[in-house]
Amino acid sequence: MKQMKKINFLTILICIGVLAACNSTGDKYVIKGVVHDHIADGDVVYIYDFNDGSIIDSTKIASGKFFIEGDINDAKAVRLVVEHHHVNFILEKGNITIDMIEEPYKVNGSPLTEKLNSFLAGYEKIFEDVREEIQSLSESASELEVIANRDKIMEKVSAKIDQLMKSFLEQHPNDVLGAMILCTWVENQIGVTEEKFAEYSGIVGERVHNFGPLKQISEYYASMGKTAVGQPFIDFTIENGNVDGTPASLSDYVGKGKYVLVDFWASWCAPCRIEAPVIAEVYNKYKGDKFEVLGVAVWDKRDATLQSMKEDGHGWPQIIDAQAIPTEIYGIQGIPHIILFGPDGTIVARELRGEKLKSKVAEVMNQ
């Protein structure tokens, strides 16, 4: 009979530890937060990935507090949302505290978040200084003088923001903090131009370039460049775009020897429907061998579009059920967006509305 070897329990414990380490999903994060008393117990707290909009984690408020923990392999730029309140931060391993009792909300506990806080504090200091400058100017100058100096003040603001942005982006050119800083700048919209975005894009690396929201902005600027005034039209086809369900293309109307006013609209869009009588006015005045109007219904349900066309008396041709196909091609972020195409399909003008629309159509038709 074979003698059994003695079991070494220390060896077993070591092996279990090794296996646990191998099976670990990553380093831990622990988030402890407090909220204002107007946020009710039971309300859900969500953490969204800023990169792709997916939900990373969630929990419920209990006694004015929330607690979330999980595994993380790499730092992520995130947005925490509860009700209509939100705060942006960088989620990484360690203990993070969030105070949502008074604005501005405070997030502490991770190295990258601390650096983000430093950037945000610098950003806020710029505007605090500007507010003080405007206040001081208002006390010693007339309203007209304040207005006259506004452009100079905003130039100063843009220069300070530029200096702050570059100082952080040069230190974090290819990480999640660099991406978050660029997103913050775009979100605040101060000094945001295609040229300045391109300049900052030249500082950062591939990881920041491929960050979801920033990639969308790059694509937006690219589409705007391809469909700017003076550029030829880009065609698109909607498989059931005609009212009878047959395919419809932009090229069925544009580039056929007429000026074509194309209105990108939706039934739920109140400004779109307010604009309809203006479009009807120019259509009734100029329709014929040299001028046409085309409606393109986007981001809408087919039945709602048809009902709206009936209610508002759209008497001009329509491409319906286009959804986001044309808006992505033409870099349209808001509607109504009205574009005037020339007889050969060249883009003559964009973002026409109201009197500006009527004036531009009259100008080209009276040439």
Q: Which CATH number goes with the domain that contains 57?
A: 2.60.40.10
Residue 217 DSSP label: H
- Overall average pLDDT of the 110-134 stretch: 89
237 bridge partner residues: 249
| pLDDT value, residue 144 | 66
Residue 43 domain-assigned? yes
| pLDDT value, residue 135 | 80
249 bridge partner residues: 237
Rg (the chain; Cα; Å): 28
Classify strands 291-297 and 318-319 as parallel, antiparallel or unpaired. parallel
Q: Whole-model pTM?
A: 0.63
CA angle 304/309/314 to nearest 5° reads 165
Residue 75 and residue 156: Cα distance in Å, rounded? 34
Residues 53 and 94 in one domain: yes
Residues 215 and 254 in one domain: no
Read off the pLDDT of residues 260-313 as tens digits, 9 standing for 90 and up.
999 999 999 999 999 999 999 999 999 999 999 999 999 999 999 999 999 998
Residues 250 and 278 in one domain: yes
On the CB side of 90, how many CA atoms lie within 13 Å of its CA? 26
Residues 265 and 334 in one domain: yes
- Is 90 exceeded by the pLDDT of residue 104? no
Q: Which of 5-14, 211-220, 272-281, 357-366 has the lowest mean pLDDT?
A: 5-14
- Overall average pLDDT of the 77-103 stretch: 94
Residue 41: which H helix or E strand, with range? none
Q: Which of 226, 252, 279 is the last residue of a domain?
A: 226
| pLDDT value, residue 143 | 65
- Is 80 exceeded by the pLDDT of residue 23? no
How would residue 147 be classed by pLDDT, with cut points 50, 70 and 90?
A: low
Residue 154 and residue 151: Cα distance in Å, rounded? 5
Residues 333 and 259 in one domain: yes
Residue 256 domain-assigned? yes
Q: How far is CA 293 from CA 261, 263, 283, 336, in A?
A: 5, 8, 6, 14
Q: Which parts of 50-142 fold into alpha helices (H)?
A: 111-140
Residues 216 and 245 in one domain: no
Residues 98 and 116 in one domain: no
Residue 7 domain-assigned? no
Residues 140 and 76 in one domain: no
Show the beta-strand stretches assigned E in the chain.
27-35, 44-49, 55-60, 65-72, 76-82, 85-91, 94-100, 106-108, 237-238, 248-249, 259-265, 291-297, 318-319, 337-341, 347-349
The domain tally of the chain equals: 3
What CATH code is carried by the domain that includes residue 286? 3.40.30.10
Site of tokens 């995130």: 78
Read off the pLDDT of residues 148-186 as tens digits, 9 standing for 90 and up.
677 778 788 889 999 999 999 999 999 999 999 999 898
Residues 279 and 319 in one domain: yes
| pLDDT value, residue 222 | 86
Residues 275 and 207 in one domain: no
Residue 3 domain-assigned? no
Residue 14 domain-assigned? no
Residue 59 domain-assigned? yes
- Is 80 exceeded by the pLDDT of residue 110? yes
| pLDDT value, residue 139 | 76
Residue 261 domain-assigned? yes
- Is 70 exceeded by the pLDDT of residue 19? no
Mean pLDDT score of the chain: 89
Both structure tokens of 70? 């999980």
The one-letter code for the residue type at 100 is M
Q: Which of 77, 107, 137 is the last residue of a domain?
A: 107
The answer for residues whose C-beta is within 8 angstroms of residue 81's C-beta and 6 or more apart is 45, 46, 47, 48
Residues 85 and 192 in one domain: no
Residue 260 and residue 245: Cα distance in Å, rounded? 23
Residues 252 and 290 in one domain: yes
Domain that holds residue 320: 237-365
Q: Which of 47, 82, 107 is the last residue of a domain?
A: 107
Residue 5 domain-assigned? no
Both structure tokens of 104? 């501005």
- Does residue 47 contact residue 68 with C-beta atoms inside 8 Å? yes
